[in-house]
Amino acid sequence: MHHTGNKYFILLCLTLLFALGGGAIPALAITADGIQQPGEYPHETSFAGGDFQVYWEIEGDTLSMALVVKSAGWVAIGFSPTVKMKDADMVIGWVTREGAVTILDAYSTAETGNNHPTDTDLGGSDDLLTKTGSRPLAWTTLEFSRKLSTGDLYDAVIPAEGNIPVIWAYGANDNWGNVHLVRGSGALAMAGEASSEQTAPVLWPYHAILMAIGFLLTLLTLAQVLGGKGNGWFTRHRQFGLAGGGVLIIGLILGILNVQLSTGLHLRPPHTWVGLAAILLTLAVLWLGLRWLGLRDATSKKKLRPVHLWLARLDIILIIAAIVLGLFAAGIF
């Protein structure tokens, strides 16, 4: 009975303490261990439908921040850009499969492109006080801290209150020079008010799907010629050819829009050059096919036919090369 009374007494004391404290559960102390725990940071927001999560705390003159991102590749956030990426104070990092963590204090020198060298490369200093991270499954977590005002020319002054504009992005692999999969911009409300977001539409998956469909239609077009020429082969050949060319052109348009909305820099990687050559050759093959239909002279038709077929074969090779290079550019290979 005595022990039972002590238990009730302890339970009563805990209940009173919880009531007097307004029901609040004390926040966890921030530990720079590369793992974001629930309740560890007092402020949080998310972008990209929750795929890019930002947690932070300002204590005195120091900012502690965690990025939790649905990506197994590089992750980046930039503070106070002027135009697009230009002049952004960047923090870029990744975690390898083996658990090695790299977090860079960088600076964006141009509006677009792979133009974000480290502060030390520019003559500044690395002002990140802590750098930790982890990569459970397909998510990457980075934790870092820095002074609100470092005095470095390449660091933004982060306010303790009010909004600060930010840009963010993440890639498919650890090569931070590769183009991002998803990027966006917005503002962080440093004192914990509502943050804002502007996310660029992601069009490259649709571009990839259409190019793959166009490639398959192109193969079917050629197969009608090489497959024995059964009944109705020419009608199918023409239908598949026109459909494949149309799908490839729509895919090209989506690819151009994706680059324009993403970086604005066209014809940079080899994938874009090879892809453009493939589309131009596709148009040439279609034009030769239509030209062949319009000819009445049998001799002219006989001369034009092998040119049309060999250009079609070359076009298929270029489309395959463009697809493979595109998969490399996206980080899938």
**CATH number of domain containing 75:** 2.60.40.1210
How many structural domains comprise the chain? 2
In a domain, 274, yes or no: yes
Q: Which H, E and C letters describe 298-315, residue by residue?
A: HHHHHHHHHHHHHHHHHH
Question: Could you give the angle at which helices 298-329 and 270-294 cross, rounded to 10 degrees?
Answer: 160
What is the residue whose two structure tokens read 């909004």? 163
Sheet of strand 130-134: strand arrangement: 43-47, 52-59, 62-69, 140-147, 130-134
The Cα 34–Cα 42 span in angstroms is 17
- Cα–Cα distance measured from residue 111 to residue 264, given in angstroms and rounded to the nearest whole number: 9
Quick check: is 16 in a domain?
no
Task: Judge if 224 and 144 occupy the same domain.
Answer: no
DSSP conformation class of 162: S
Mean pLDDT by 10 residues, the chain (333 residues): 45 43 48 79 88 93 94 92 89 92 94 86 95 90 95 94 90 78 85 63 80 89 76 85 89 81 66 87 88 85 88 89 78 59
Residue 31 lies in a domain: no
Q: Which two tokens stand for residue 136?
A: 């459970």
With left for phi above 0 and alpha for psi between -120 and 50, is residue 34 left, alpha or beta? left
Same domain as 299, residue 171: no
Q: Are residues 210 and 192 in the same domain?
A: no
Contact 112, 122 (CB under 8 A): no
* Alpha-carbon distance values, 92 to 122, 176, 327 (Å): 16, 8, 23
Residue 1: the pLDDT is 43
Same domain, 185 and 70: yes
Sheet harboring 182-189: ordered strands across? 101-107, 89-95, 75-79, 163-170, 182-189, 196-199
- Is residue 279 domain-shared with residue 305, that is, in the same domain? yes
Instruction: For residue 17, tell me if it sits in a domain.
Output: no
- Tell me the CATH number at 262: 1.20.120.1770
Domain shared by 193 and 249, yes or no: no
Rounded Cα gap, residues 178 and 169, in angstroms: 11
Supply the pLDDT for residue 213.
92
Give the helix ranges, DSSP H, for the chain. Answer: 2-20, 204-226, 233-262, 270-294, 298-329
Residues 161 and 193 in one domain: yes
Does residue 19 lie in a domain region?
no
| In contact, 144 and 90? CB cutoff 8 Å | no
pLDDT at residue 314, as a whole number: 92
Per-residue confidence (pLDDT) for residue 108, from 0 to 100 = 92
- Residue 27 maps to a domain: no
Q: What is the pLDDT of residue 145?
A: 95
Residue 136 lies in a domain: yes
Where does a domain end: 199, 220, 251?
A: 199
Tell me: do 189 and 110 sit in the same domain: yes
Instruction: State the first-to-last Cα distance of the chain, in angstroms, to the nearest integer.
Output: 70
Q: Are residues 66 and 182 in the same domain?
A: yes
* Domain membership of residue 248 as a residue range: 204-329
